[in-house]
Chain A
Amino acid sequence: MSAPVLSRSAAAEQDPAVAVRRSKKPSETTWLIAGTVLVGLLAVVSLFVGVSDVSLPRLLAGDPEAWDLVWISRVPRTLAVILAGTAVAVAGLIMQLMVRNRFVEPSTVGTVESATLGILVVTVLLPAAPIMMKMGVASVFALGGTALFLAVLGRLPARNTLLVPIVGIMLGGVIGSVTTFFAYKYDLLQTLGNWMIGDFSGVLRGRYELLWIVAALTLAGYLAADRFTVAGLGADFTTNLGMNHKAIMRLGLVLVSLISAVVVTTVGAVPFLGLIVPNIVSLLFGDNLRRAVPWTALFGAGFVLVCDIIGRTIRFPYEVPVGMVMSVLGATIFLALLLRTRKRHA
């Protein structure tokens, strides 16, 4: 009963491979456990990548210096990667459900740019503000930017699948140009660059704990995921099912904006993640939502771990920010997804 309702894109409906995979259900839990183990292994690898020597023998020998390094730097970093990866991917999924569009995520609709503008504003007006305050202002701006996008979206009568992300990207560009203007005026362009590019190199104990907030938000998103699907089908449909459309949309808006704002303030923007992961999950496992959310979380964490490890090893001993690796990989995968659409249309 839920399958036709949940297939959000015509693309997924037409793809026979997806339908076949959906009908035969392998022992899902086994696969999930296997996936979790794989991500766990990646996390362990990530613990041992770095300039300072943290090798297994040294740890087993009880070298206090090595253990300090692990607890102060390596574990917080890996945790931050996993938390941010999970949250951003799930936020992308929620966004896609809400606007019923496969090509949308917080960084293609202006949410991330708005959050950055918020941080800039609070940095200029109250340079000494505590991080929670910055995060709060960033969240308010992110909410505003996302609401603006949804309002613009409401003016597009035909929900053209491809027009929605174009409008979103341009909206983000316009907000970004305002940010650049003021950053230029207050000589904060370089600082701005640090926010706009996701980077885990600065993560230490005491500087990532706020990301646990997004873990809670992600869980809330999981619990409410079904509602976002219904809300995406329109106000009338939702009301007929006895639900409050406005309340659900507001909840989704708040979740997505908060996740984006917290991630941007702690580690910076991670582009394309929320776009790629839900799409891949949908290709592999179909659009059954109960299954999609855990897989999205798992893939999100795994993808960022891989990108972070690449970024740390490609130019060893220096580091390339994860955001750059992600923008190259992510844009390539996004292009492949788009051209798949083109092939089908031709």
Chain B
Amino acid sequence: MPKTLPPASAGTLRALPRRNFSPALLSPKRISPAALITVLAVITLGCVVAFMVIDLRGNLSYALSRRGIRVGAMVVVAVAVGLSTLMFQTVTANRILTPSIMGFDSLYILIQTALVFTLGSSTLLTASPALKFGVEVGLMIVFSALLYRWLFTGGTGALHLMLLVGIVIGTLFRGFSSLLQRLMEPSEYIVLQDLFFASFNQVEPLLLGISAVIVALVAAVVWKLRKSFDVLALGRETAINLGVDHRRIVTLVLVLCSILVAISTALVGPVTFFGLLVVSLAYQMVRKFSHAALIPIVCLLGAITLIGGQLLLERVFGFATALSVIIEFAGGLLFLYLLLKGSLK
């Protein structure tokens, strides 16, 4: 129990997973995780097929390959954001944190900006994409591991303080990036802007391929660690008592999160609340607390939200690419709700 906070609010943010299971609104009583995963997988497939074939006109192979790339990008982003949020929440034993709220993707954008600012866009454009990506992810891992490990292993008690520090760090990174962007030549800025605001419509097939492979590898590591995550979720002290090397695994998770955040940001730009939304939904659905169930459900839910949401927006409401704004809005409301509900307990 953190001694600096009043007891009324101290337990809320670090509420252990099992506590939130009483009002599982979305979970029908007798559906097992396996059945749930099957149902979700079918829905996901349905979304993908619908996205691919509805309103298909003109040159079929061209249209299909374009749509295929968009679907692929959405799946990769859904898995990257969902998994990074799930891991992050588990190691911080906290239900409302996501890597982006803590400033991870602003850090990624700052590193990109600083690289272009110091080396110039021509260096970056001529460098091989793989090398460039490697350097960026490497820097990201070093910085985030230093910064966030310090944050999470220092004053572990004051969680509100940590959250606020994270939010302010994010603001600081954003402010610093925009300052650097303002200082650079307009032509350099245009190159930079393309680097992190590629939407789902303009994803490079090669970059998508590389990203998909990396995300798959990370997902495999996460899957291997699923039992450790179950133990970690019991809280830092309990996990250490049960023989988990807490410091080592926190560092590992931060590294994995950095990779995932770097990939999703490079592919489609920053999304703050998407992970929060998907992971909260997954927790609502899974009655039994186990990462073996949570990991696939989070990935599937993410894909359904993105592909299904995009489908609805485009085909039903006639908007083009404002999905992220809607997700931000819904996720922001959910965040406030969780914050207030947690504090009222």
Contact = CB atoms under 8 A, between A and B. Distances in A.
B161 to A, nearest CB: 5
A162 B169 CA distance: 15
Contact of B339 (A158, A170, A184, A324): A170
Interface string B85-106: 0000000000000000000000
Contact of B333 (A174, A338, A345): A174
B120 interface: no
Contacts of A325: 179
A324 B182 CA distance: 9
Interface residues of A, number: 43
Given A335-B165, A339-B165, A158 B325 contact: no
A160 interface: yes
Interface string B142-159: 000000000000110110
Contact of A185 (B154, B171, B322, B328): B322
Interface residues of B, number: 41
Interface string A142-171: 000000000010011110111101110111
29 contacts: A103-B164, A152-B336, A157-B8, A157-B343, A160-B6, A160-B160, A162-B160, A162-B164, A163-B9, A163-B160, A163-B339, A166-B160, A170-B335, A173-B272, A174-B332, A177-B325, A177-B332, A178-B329, A314-B183, A315-B183, A320-B182, A321-B182, A324-B178, A331-B172, A338-B161, A342-B155, A342-B161, A345-B161, A346-B155
A126 to B, nearest CB: 24
A166 B163 contact: yes
B331 to A, nearest CB: 9
A124 to B, nearest CB: 16
A155 B340 contact: yes
A174 B175 CA distance: 19
Interface in A321-346: 321, 324-325, 327-328, 331-332, 334-335, 338-339, 341-342, 345-346
A155 B326 CA distance: 26
B164 A324 contact: no
A173 B344 CA distance: 22
Contacts of A7: none
B332 A158 contact: no
Given A160-B343, A332-B172, A184 B164 contact: no
B53 to A, nearest CB: 28
Given A160-B6, A162-B161, A174-B332, 20 more contacts: A155-B340, A156-B340, A156-B343, A158-B6, A160-B160, A162-B163, A163-B9, A163-B339, A170-B336, A171-B336, A177-B325, A180-B325, A271-B171, A315-B182, A324-B178, A327-B171, A342-B155, A342-B161, A345-B4, A346-B155
A181 interface: yes
B223 interface: no
Interface in B298-343: 319, 322, 325-326, 328-329, 332-333, 335-336, 339-340, 343
Interface string B11-32: 0000000000000000000000
B113 to A, nearest CB: 13
B117 interface: no
Given A169-B167, A335-B169, A174 B336 contact: yes
B168 interface: yes
A331 B343 contact: no
A156 B336 CA distance: 12
Nearest to A314: B183
A184 B321 CA distance: 10
Nearest to A346: B155
Contact of A331 (B4, B168, B340): B168
A170 B332 contact: yes
A84 B97 CA distance: 35
A335 B154 CA distance: 15
Contacts of A345: 4, 155, 157-158, 161
Contacts of A184: 322, 325
A320 B183 contact: yes
Contacts of B167: 166, 169
Given A160-B160, A174-B336, A346-B155, A328 B165 contact: no
A323 to B, nearest CB: 9
Q: Which 10 A-B pairs have the closest CB atoms?
A: A327-B175, A331-B172, A162-B160, A174-B332, A158-B8, A345-B4, A177-B328, A181-B325, A177-B329, A328-B175
A328 B325 CA distance: 25
A184 B179 CA distance: 23
B240 interface: no
A173 B332 contact: yes
Contacts of A165: 164
A315 B184 CA distance: 9
B5 interface: yes
A170 B164 CA distance: 11
A178 B272 CA distance: 14
A153 to B, nearest CB: 10
A272 to B, nearest CB: 8
Contact of B164 (A156, A174, A271, A338): A338
A167 B325 contact: no
Nearest to A331: B172
B329 A181 contact: yes
B176 interface: yes
A157 B344 contact: yes
Interface string B180-222: 0011000000000000000000000000000000000000000
Given A160-B5, A171-B336, A335 B172 contact: yes
A328 B168 CA distance: 10
A169 B168 CA distance: 10
Contacts of B172: 327-328, 331-332, 335
Contacts of B325: 177, 180-181, 184
B343 A163 contact: yes
Contacts of B171: 271, 327, 331
Given A320-B179, A335-B169, A345-B4, A167 B339 contact: yes
Interface in A183-239: 184-185
Contacts of A152: 336, 340
Contacts of B179: 320, 324-325, 327-328
Contacts of A167: 336, 339-340
